[in-house]
Amino acid sequence: MKSSIIQITSLALLPFLAACNCCDDCKSVPAETAAVAEACAPAKQLQHPFLQQGHAIRWSAMTPENIVPDTKEAIARAQKAIDKICALKPEELTYDNVVGAYWDEYMAPFDFFSSLMAHVKDVCMTPEYNAEYEKALPLIAEFGTSVDLNPKLWETLKAYAETEDAKNLSPEKKRYLDKLVNAFRDGGADLPADKKAELTEISKESTVLRQAFSRNVLNATNAYSLVVTDPARLAGLPETNRAAAFEEAKKAGKATDEKPAWMFTLRSTSLGPALKYLEDEALRKELWAASDTLCIGGEFDNSKNTRRILELRQKRAEILGEANYSDLILKRRMAKNGETAFNFVLELREKTKAAFLREYEELKAFRKSQDASYDGGNFEPWDLAYWAEKMRKAQYDFDSNSVKPYFTMDNVMDGMFRFFEELHGLRIREVPSAFVELGSGKSIPEGTVEVWHPEVKFYELFDAETNVRLGVFYTDWYPRESKRAGAWMHPLAVGDRKAGIPNFGLVCGNMTAPVGDEPALLTHYDVETIYHEFGHLLHHLLGNTEVAALNGTSVAWDFVEFPSQLNENWTWEPSVLKRFAKHYKTGEVLPQSLIDAMLRARNFQAAYSQMRQLGIAGSDLYIHRNAKAIAGREVNDVGVEFFRDYSWPMKTPTNTILNRLTHIFSGGYSSGYYSYKWAEALEADAFLSFKKPDGTLDLEKGKVYRKKILERGDTADANELFRDFVGRDPDWNAINVLYGISEK
């Protein structure tokens, strides 16, 4: 399970995805718009670079000084589209000029604009960009709320919904209309003017606070570094991680080849290996302490942000007639309300508890057998990962670092592409790309696609049988100081299959980067993450819906992780691994002995991992369901209390990650973090559909999966989609069986 985020940047009420109104060859579009013409002028200075449409995006034109002017222009164009709908007479109302126009003329282009602007913020962040971006956010939030609360627009939409035309729509169009009406109603369209004004102010302030929260996390992460000059302190650290730490120090001007030093940061690719492998306990403690207090106190403290965000969310829920924010958010999802979601967490916790407690005793016993100075008591938190890795290696004869030489980025990507080509009947082709410095005004070579960084690549995805181009996408896998942490998929735009316009998206991550002349050597976790994000991407790119707003990842939020987490299973299948896992020096295929060891170790401390995720999910729901009761308290303190039932007791008290958890406070997972486990329980059950009775893979099932899940998006209720593919309701215990936490 990966803590990734599907980026959906529209700040309007509806969580629908952006659409693209032209193909990437703009000259082939009969009725060129001004924005399209701008995007296709490679040598011309764009008047509104953030208002580009299509797939030929000139990233280098998106300079900070254009953010606010382009935001105002985008709002003006969007308002014109809304006014056009509002001016319709009752006898003129049709699906196309009301519902269709809402999407095609307002939602899609405006969402695409905000997507581009937010994406540049995520991958090329600078102080100058941040400053201008934060000026634009309140403008976008205020406008989005004004649309959601526009009385004339709401009356027009309601009037159309009562027409005979609306009653005779196709199932997909009827579903979208119903979702649109419900979303406006849930957003306060029927409220009196004073309450609408209050919602507008809440939206504006919340937007600023979410951005401030995210900025603090990034700045706090980047602000910390620890430089080691004594190589003896690096004992235990694998050579690849040692080399990466040396490169970090050189880039920061802290080391040279003649005078080496090693730098550790709080980014996961540095912190994770350090806590897992360094024998120097004092060094582990220092790094852990820095991570444990990230955004708690000091310059980048998020305490005020978290308290105020919760307060505003509770106010919003009450204005809209709900007891709490969880009930407001979940009413249109599979769980339907906060109580159901919280009970799911509690029930899974109880089923996990026995194995969870047993695993701690096993870890203590192992350490006692290896460490004569250990008294058998509770651990220090900086010792957990270190001793867990030692136990894993000793009991399963598996060092997680031993497989890295077999997982080069190039082989992983090529192997993944070839596998999914076979599984889903696809063909994937890389397109030559070129990087241009921001604001340079330079053109790219003919036949290339512009990218925002030299490491970014661009691809096309085709149907293998028909050769129809289904999607185009970027990949950006390596960490940078100007790039936010984590991994995510962004569904930039929905295409039009009939018009030959492909779906458009991107995937980003922070995987282990190349060091010197060596290729990028990935951990298996990195490989899982890549497959996970590609699962989201395929869900978007393979979508084939009549209504663009129902495409791909527009499904209920607690179903959206289903395809991505199902994809992780493929990275554990020996026949799949052997397609791409080859030693970067010898070309040797990953030995069966290593695969067997990896599979034996797969479920090592599975209950601990699951309980940790349940703790995050439960605390997310708890603070949002009890915002009034905890008002004024530090959210971290509340989290510490809640986590006691989901954590092993430590000698040194620990904080929670709530003050730095962007998923909940600046991403799309507020009151929805449980959906990772919910979807994981679904996919654990569904993955069995890909196995034959003898345990081998039934790859032909992949085409059925594409047709019944990936292509259908949100055209039917998620429960119906699951039943259509699996043939029955889900078995919620399948997740515990898959991970060996409980027996069947």
Contact 740, 606 (CB under 8 A): yes
- Tell which residue, 507, 574, 509, 512, has the closest CA to residue 535: 507
**Domain-embedded: residue 186:** yes
**Mean of pLDDT values over 355-381:** 97
Q: In this structure, how many other beta carbons lie within 10 angstroms of the beta carbon of residue 477?
A: 24
**Domain-located, residue 313:** no
**319 inside domain:** no
278 is a domain residue: yes
CATH number reported for the structural domain that contains residue 47 in this entry: 1.20.1050.40
Q: What is the pLDDT of residue 396?
A: 85
Judged by DSSP in three states, 223 sits in helix
Of the candidates 220, 238, 257, which is a domain's last residue? Answer: 220
CA–CA gap between residue 742 and residue 744 (Å, rounded): 7
Same domain, 635 and 734: yes
Say whether 291 sits in a helix, a strand or coil.
helix
| Separation of alpha carbons 73 and 606, rounded Å | 51
- The pLDDT, as a whole number, for residue 1 is 43
| Domains in the chain, number | 4
Cα three-residue angle 20-537-504, rounded to 5 degrees? 15
The predicted pLDDT at position 744 comes to: 63
Of all helices (H) and strands (E), which one includes residue 460?
A: strand 457-463
R_g of the chain computed on alpha carbons: 26
Same domain, 628 and 692: yes
Distances (CA, A) of 355 to 2, 352, 397, 610, 678: 22, 6, 22, 10, 20
Mean pLDDT of the chain: 91
Do 457 and 430 meet the contact criterion of CB atoms below 8 Å apart?
yes
Q: Where are the beta strands (DSSP E) in 523-562?
A: none
CA distances from 268 to 3, 20, 479, 510, 579 (A): 12, 34, 10, 8, 28
Task: Using pLDDT thresholds of 50, 70 and 90, give the confidence band for residue 386.
Answer: very high
CA distances from 194 to 138, 312, 313, 560 (A): 19, 16, 18, 35
pLDDT score at 739 = 87
Among candidate residues 547, 404, 384, 447, the one with its CA nearest the CA of residue 14: 547
pLDDT for 502 beyond 60: yes
Comparing C-alpha atoms, which of 638, 739, 657 is closest to residue 355?
739
pLDDT at 307: 97
Q: Quick check: is 325 in a domain?
A: no
471 with 591, same domain: the answer is: yes
Question: Do 380 and 414 sit in the same domain of this protein?
Answer: no
**Model-wide pTM > 0.85:** no
257 and 372 part of one domain? no
Q: How many CB atoms lie within 10 A of CB 90?
A: 11
526-553: per-residue pLDDT in tens?
999 999 999 999 999 999 999 999 999 9
d(CA 32, CA 119): 25
Give the C-alpha separation, 184 to 201, whole Å.
Answer: 18
Q: For position 271, what pLDDT does the model report?
A: 96
Q: Average of pLDDT values for 464-493? A: 94
Q: What is the pLDDT of residues 9-50, one digit of tens each?
A: 332 333 333 222 233 222 222 222 333 333 333 435 689 999
Q: Does residue 120 sit in the same domain as residue 263? A: no
What is the DSSP secondary structure assignment for residue 501, as one 8-state letter? B
Residue 238 CB neighbours (<10 A): 18
For residues 655-679, average pLDDT:
93
Backbone φ and ψ of 279, nearest 5°: -80, -20
Residue 6: phi and psi, rounded to 5, are -85, 120
- pLDDT computed for residue 30 by the predictor: 29
What burial letters (b/e) apply to 404-427, b meaning 16+ CB within 10 Å?
bbbbbbebbbebbbebbeebbbbb
Q: How far is CA 386 from its chain centroid?
A: 28
- The C-alpha atoms of residue 599 and residue 397 are separated, in whole angstroms, by 11
Residue 259 is part of which domain span? 224-292
Cα distance between the two ends of the chain: 21
Same domain, 275 and 372: no
Q: Which two three-digit tokens encode residue 442?
A: 């330079």
Q: Hunting for tokens 């060596």 — which residue is that?
A: 518
Summarize pLDDT for 140-195 with one digit per residue, the tens. Answer: 988 998 999 999 999 999 999 999 999 999 999 999 999 999 999 988 999 999 99
5 strand-pairing partners: 488
135 and 66, same structural domain? Answer: yes
Q: Are strands 503-508 and 457-463 parallel, antiparallel or unpaired?
A: unpaired
Listed ranges 411-420, 438-447, 658-667; the one with the highest mean pLDDT: 411-420
User: What CATH number corresponds to the domain at position 473?
Assistant: 1.10.1370.40
CA distance 183 to 394: 54
Among 162, 196, 220, identify where a domain stops. 220
Residues 389, 275: contact at Cβ < 8 Å?
A: no
Measured CA distances, 401 to 241, 272, 276, 285, 404 (Å): 10, 12, 10, 22, 6
Question: Would 266 be classed as within a structural domain?
Answer: yes
Task: Give me the pLDDT at residue 399, please.
Answer: 83
Q: Which of 292, 318, 339 is the last residue of a domain?
A: 292
Cα–Cα dist 177/580, whole Å: 45
What 8-state DSSP symbol labels residue 581? -
* Distances in whole angstroms, Cα of residue 543 to Cα of each of 367, 468, 475, 497: 50, 13, 19, 9
Residue 372, domain CATH: 1.10.1370.10
Whether 183 maps to a domain, the answer reads yes
The residues with which 226 forms a beta bridge, in sequence order, are: 264
With respect to residue 180, please indicate whether it lies within any of the assigned structural domains.
Answer: yes
In 3-state terms, what secondary structure has residue 704?
Answer: helix
Q: In this structure, are residues 650 and 381 in contact, taking their beta carbons and an 8 Å threshold?
A: yes
User: How confident is the model over 305-342, as pLDDT tens digits?
Assistant: 999 999 999 999 999 999 999 999 999 899 999 999 99
Query: Percent of the chain at pLDDT above 90?
Result: 82
Q: How confident is the model at residue 449 (pLDDT cuts 50, 70, 90)?
A: very high
Judged against a pLDDT cut of 90, whether residue 215 lies above it is answered with yes
Half-sphere exposure of 661 (CA within 13 A, CB side): 26
Do 660 and 678 fall within a single domain?
yes
Q: What is the mean pLDDT of residues 391-397?
A: 88
Residues 48 and 148 in one domain: yes
Beta carbons within 8 Å of 96's beta carbon, 6+ residues apart: none
Tokens linked to 609? 């991992």
How far apart CA 416 and CA 567 sit, in angstroms, is 10
DSSP string, 330-365: HTTSSS-SHHHHHHHHHHHHHHHHHHHHHHHHHHHH
Pairing mode of beta strands 426-431, 457-463:
antiparallel
Residue type, 69: P
Give the pairing of strands 262-264 and 426-431: unpaired
216 and 258 co-located in one domain: no
Indicate if 272 and 374 belong to the same structural domain.
no
